[in-house]
Amino acid sequence: MEIILSVIIGLLYSAGIYLMLRRSLIKLVIGLVLLGNGVNLLIFLMGGLVKGRPPIISATAENIGLIYADPVPQALILTAIVISFGLQSFAIVLIKRAYIVVGTDDLDKMHSTEEEDD
Amino acid sequence: MKQLIFRTATGFLLPLLLLFSVFILLRGHYLPGGGFVGGLIAAIAFVLHAFAFTLKETRKLIKINYRLLIPIGLALAFFSAILPMFKGLPILTGLWVYEPLPVVDMVGSSLLFDTGVYLVVVGVTLTIIFTISESA
Amino acid sequence: MIENLIIIPVLFQLLLAITLLFFFRKIKTQKVISISGSIVAVVIAAFLFHQVYDEGILTMQAGNWQPPFGITFVADAFSTTMVLLASISSLAVTAFSSVTIKKARLRFGYFPSLHFLIMGLNGAFLTGDIFNLYVWFEVIIISSFVFITLGGKKVQLEGAVKYFTLNFLASILFLTAIAVLYGLTGSLNMADLAGKIKQINNQGLVQVTAILFLVGFGIKSAIFPLYFWLPDSYHTPQAAISAVFAGLLTKVGIYALLRTFSLIFVPDDFIKTLIVIIAGLTLISGALGAMVQTNMRKMFSYLIVCHIGYIIGGLGMFTTAALAGAIFYLIHDIIVKTNLFLVGGIVFKITGETHMKKMGGIYSAYPGLSLLMAIPLFSLVGVPPLSGFWPKIDLMQEAFFSGNYFLSGCIIFGSFITLLVIIRFWSEAFWKKNEQKELKPHVKYYGTMPASQKLFLVGPILLLSLVSLYIGLGAENIIRLSDQIAAELMDTSVYIEAVLGTSHTIDTP
């Protein structure tokens, strides 16, 4: 399972970076989404995989019992998901505005910030 | 998406989903659930309504200014965070009502926090989705 | 309870932001609340600083979870100094933006976002948890997106796309590094990490993680070769916004670098050399960039990049004296860079131009104001006895004596070019004769403003100039402070003990 996850994480990272390097705005955003998912999976993997034992301990249990999944990575992922939810919705609105105002989705044509005069 | 089946189903689904979202919110402390998921479900209920009918209809249905939910929710969460300060404890410490209440079970300041999160998520999600679909 | 004092700067900004959200459409009320709230925030920050300076490090465990399991907030001399400086800068910026930014733009939640941003900054300075630091970084950048897109012009949106992409990438790298770090140690508490990281056998992986942090923070703080987004996006927003960005946003990256690389990853020779080289190249490339620019605000943006090199250089040498110089420079730089962009804003209001060649005649029209504006400009250069002089001496000396001749050369080069650039700016904008030209209709000129508005333009600059005069003339106190901070950064046992308690003494391998 760890190996499959590592491969998937690697694929997500490489696909994300590849899409970011493309010139299209839409592909840029999709790349960012993929990267965000990749890093969430990485946190999950790094926390150690435990199958079928959620970190919920019943109130009646005397002791913790068997090894259960580490809740910290799950909390981290939840936080990261919420944050990337906000960032990605911003990104979508931003590229839409940028496309309307600039009139192109080609990043290479977005160079008015480098021009000498405003 | 103006089909009859979809519209009729939405009429039933909207209250059910809202109820379900509150259920998710309340069970959140010890079991999977909580304010964020609950808020998303509530927002999705309204988005579904907006798909089935129109944005205008949904706005009429919501009545209140949903943007106001964001500061209200933040204020609730803020209040629950500073509550322990008055008891001389570090902020965000969970304070609990000792007697379990019916239906809701144990009630504590974390429920107040989660309710705040719920309201913020509903407000934010509706703002985002309505803004995007309005300008489309 | 005294512990909760640590979190008050954060909570107070949150309270301000929430209150402002309730008055979302009432701009006048927002201005009053925002400015008076910022004054209170300075008082709170000063009180916290005083408390920590007198009585040592304060810690607070959020939610009453015992360390290292919960989120710890730590107020040591370094973090409280940063909080104090951030509060002063933000006070100046709120006052300045209340008159310079158009009402139509303030309506998009400008003031609430500003206070969310300051909340994020304060949180980032005060947290003792690496993941919590990430969360505060996100709070900061999400608020900054509001500012960078405010106005919605073509150039601003293009700048925003670049700014957004690079910052998102930096966050991803930061998060990746946190994931690896958690996998290695199973802890997120920075004080706890400091001990655990030394016990790891696979130091190669630790190095990789350190580099990931360096790149992630490096993008945010715009070090060589990761700074390209900064001059492309910092000159597009309004002057007041650029001032926040220049004074505080890049500095929080530097703060994180200084914190992680002193506490968690104590740099070895390889990383030290790497950072020193990066610092030198940052100085050179920023200086060269500033030299070729004729647009005032782009030139200032390159100066930000250039001067980050000093602080990073101090970190790279990693001796107490070098760190003290770097801290002093950081203190000076926050105030002066904020002020510099505010000065840029006034210059624009007077001349209606951002292009240096088209400016002129400010000195003959406003001699008093020009002298006031000379203070930040020449503090930046480091003309003695103004504030930039002392840390540069420290850094140069340390670079020279520790045999980092490359870095000392770069420091001299950077200072020299800064001098050149500022003198050119001064003679173009202030001393050159002004040719008469017709006024632009959409610019609100300084000359036509009522006196009350002028007060809000000049007041912030006066405030910040006084602070930087104090830093320069009262350098003795600042040196004592930065020495103490540097000593705390070098010897982290005090910090670790304050967070984890005395029982967690760390046995060095």
Residues B78 and C11: beta-carbon distance below 8 Å: yes
Q: Chain A 59-88, CB below 8 Å of chain C: which residues?
A: 70, 72-73, 76, 79-80, 83, 86-87
CA atoms of C294 and B34, how far apart (whole Å): 55
| Separation of CA B74 from chain center | 12
3-state secondary structure at position B100: strand
CB of A35 closer than 8 Å to CB of A16: yes
Pairwise CB contact (< 8 Å): C165 & A112: no
DSSP string, C258-303: HHHHHHTS---HHHHHHHHHHHHHHHHHHHHHHHH--BHHHHHHHH
Nearest residue, CB atoms, B75 vs list C7, C11, C18 = C18
User: How many C-beta neighbours within 10 Å does residue A4 have?
Assistant: 8
Query: Which residues in chain C have their CB less than 8 angstroms from residue A86's CB?
Result: 138, 142
Tokens of C382: 């480091």
Predicted confidence band of residue A117 (pLDDT cuts 50, 70, 90): very low
Say which of A56, A78, A82 has its CB closest to residue B31.
A56
| Contact residues on chain C for A83, CB-CB shorter than 8 A | 135, 138, 142
| Shortest CA gap B20–chain C (Å) | 29
Q: Is residue A116 part of a domain?
A: no
A to C CB pairs, distance under 8 Å = 103
Chain B closest-CA separation from residue A15 CA (Å): 27
* Inter-chain touch A96–B135, beta carbons under 8 Å: yes
What are C313's two structure tokens? Answer: 């250089």
Q: What is the CATH number of the domain that holds A91?
A: 1.10.287.3510
What is the structure's pLDDT at A60?
74
What chains are in contact with B, requiring at least 3 Cβ pairs below 8 Å? A, C
Provide, as residue numbers in chain C, all residues whose Cβ is less than 8 Å from the Cβ of B74. 14, 17-18, 21
Restricting to C residues 40-79, those with a Cβ less than 8 Å away from any Cβ of B are 60-64
- Number of domains forming the structure of chain C: 1
* SS3 state at C332: helix
Q: What pLDDT does residue C436 have?
A: 64
Q: Is C189 helix (H, G, I), strand (E, B) or coil?
A: strand
Question: Residue C61: which H helix or E strand, with range?
Answer: strand C58-61
Upstream peptide bond of C68 is cis (omega within 30 degrees of 0): yes
Facing residue for A46 by CB, picked from C171, C180, C232 = C180
For residue A31, tell me if it sits in a domain: yes
Give which of A82, A89, A99 to mutate to test B binding, by max B Cβ within 10 Å.
A89
Q: What is the pLDDT of residue C302?
A: 92
- Residue C507 belongs to a domain: no
pLDDT digits 0-9 by tens, C285-309: 999 999 998 888 889 999 999 999 9
Residue that the structure tokens 């300060």 belong to? B85
List Cα–Cα distances, C83 to C42, C116, C125, in angstroms.
Answer: 9, 14, 7
Q: Tokens 């965070």 identify what position?
A: B81
Q: What is the pLDDT of residue C243?
A: 92
Encoding tokens for residue C10? 């954060």
Output the pLDDT for position C17: 94
Total structural domains within chain A: 1
Query: What pLDDT, in 10s, does the model give residues B64-80?
Result: 888 899 999 999 999 99
Q: Residue C505 falls within a domain, yes or no?
A: no
Pair A116, A37: CB distance under 8 Å: no
Higher pLDDT, C114 or A85: C114
What is the model's pTM?
0.93
Biggest alpha carbon–alpha carbon distance for chain B: 58
Kindly provide the residue ranges of all beta strands, DSSP E only, lying in C165-225, ordered along the sequence. none
d(CA B90, nearest CA chain C) in Å = 6
Per-residue pLDDT of chain C (509 residues; tens, 9 = 90+): 577 889 999 999 999 999 999 988 888 899 999 999 999 999 999 999 999 988 889 998 888 888 888 899 999 999 999 999 999 999 999 999 988 888 878 888 899 999 999 999 999 999 999 999 999 999 999 999 988 888 778 888 888 888 999 999 999 999 999 999 999 998 999 999 998 998 888 888 999 999 999 999 999 998 988 888 888 888 888 888 999 998 899 899 999 999 999 999 988 889 999 999 999 999 999 999 999 988 888 899 999 999 999 999 999 999 999 999 999 999 999 999 999 999 999 988 888 888 888 888 888 888 889 999 999 999 999 888 888 889 998 899 999 998 889 999 999 999 999 999 999 999 988 888 877 666 777 777 887 888 888 888 899 999 999 999 999 998 899 999 999 999 999 998 889 998 887 654 444 43
The range of the structural domain enclosing residue C25 comes to 2-500
pLDDT of C33-67, one tens digit each?
Answer: 999 999 999 999 999 999 998 888 999 888 888 88
In angstroms, rounded to a whole number, what is the distance separating the alpha carbons of residues C141 and C245? 10
Residue C130 contacts residue C188 (beta carbons within 8 Å) = yes
Residues of chain B contacting C, Cβ within 8 Å = 67-68, 70-71, 74-75, 78, 81-82, 84-85, 88-94
Find out whether the peptide bond into A54 is cis, omega within 30 degrees of 0: no
Q: Is residue C509 part of a domain?
A: no
Q: Are C312 and C279 in contact (CB under 8 A)?
A: yes
C506 located within any domain: no
Question: Using CB atoms, which residue from C182, C232, C235 is nearest to A73?
Answer: C182
Nearest to C402 by CA among C309, C322, C284, C323: C322
- The rounded distance, in Å, linking the Cα atoms of C66 and B59 is 47
Domain hosting A78: range is 2-50+68-109
Burial of C186 (0-12, 13-18, 19+ CB in 10 A): middle
Inside any domain, residue C454: yes
Residues of B in contact with A82 (CB under 8 A): 36
Separation of alpha carbons A66 and A74, rounded Å? 19
| DSSP H/E element including B97 | strand B96-101
Residues 48-77 on A with a CB inside 8 Å of B are: 54, 56, 59
- Tell me which chain B residue has its CA closest to the CA of residue C65: B93
> A92–B131: do the CB atoms touch at under 8 Å?
no
* Residue A73 · residue A42 · CB < 8 Å: no
Beta-carbon contacts of residue C292 (< 8 Å; ≥ 6 apart):
none
Say what the pLDDT of residue B96 is. 81
Supply the pLDDT for residue C448: 80
CA distances from C457 to C193, C239, C283, C444 (A): 46, 11, 31, 13
